Amino acid sequence: MHHSELIAQLLKVIAAGLLLISFAMLASRRTQQLITLFAWQGAMLFVSTCLVAYSSGLTEMYYSAGLTLLLKVIALPWILHRLIHRLGAQWDSEQLVNVPTTMMAGLALVIFAFGLAQPITSMATTITRHTLGIALAVILLAFLMMITRRKAVTQVIGFLAMENGLFFAATSATYGMPMVIELGIALDLLVGVFILGIFFFQIREQFDSLDLSNLESLKED
């Protein structure tokens, strides 16, 4: 098998793994397990970015891979694990939609994502162009996870998983984003998680729960 074809096949395997992890996140009811799956997503993004950097010869992609490893595999999962232990929010069984219905909706979104990506894939010239449909599916599945959960922590994990999908989509279509933009996004994510952590503690102190539906009680009569 040709060298570039081997890398393309490995990238397809990684993309399939990302899609499976997205479905696992949809089905999971444990917040701690969601964080672990998010870290695995980051690890797969790290490997895929290294492969793209090696095949394309773009040195800056190695910096992107290192940033992904530091932020999404180590820093953010560690912060989130500490946060849920402090909040006592290891479980999230309060889903708005039952798991089978959510999985069927996820399957429909995957079909939609592949159809949406088809015209772009036919015009792209990168080695990762065939994984663009999966990247869009990961984004849509993360969004679905956000809107089918009640707890604030799991919604934040869904947002972070959506950012993973956006990063993979950028890598699939254009060999990634400029480093300045990636550094800005990384800083925004870290600051956002810290701010949301403070917000979670305020919700917990006020309502003794992280269910965002409690915020409706703050509306004026």
pLDDT, tens digit, for every residue of 20-53? 999 999 888 788 888 899 999 999 999 988 888 8
Identify whether 215 is part of a domain.
no
d(CA 18, CA 142): 11
- Residues in a beta bridge with 151: 211
Identify whether 174 is part of a domain.
yes
d(CA 147, CA 139): 13
Side chain identity at residue 160, one-letter code: L
| Of 95 and 74, the one with more pLDDT | 74
Identify whether 218 is part of a domain.
no
Highest mean pLDDT among 5-19, 37-51, 114-128: 37-51
Identify whether 221 is part of a domain.
no
How many domains does the structure of the chain reveal? 1
| Of 7 and 139, the one with more pLDDT | 139
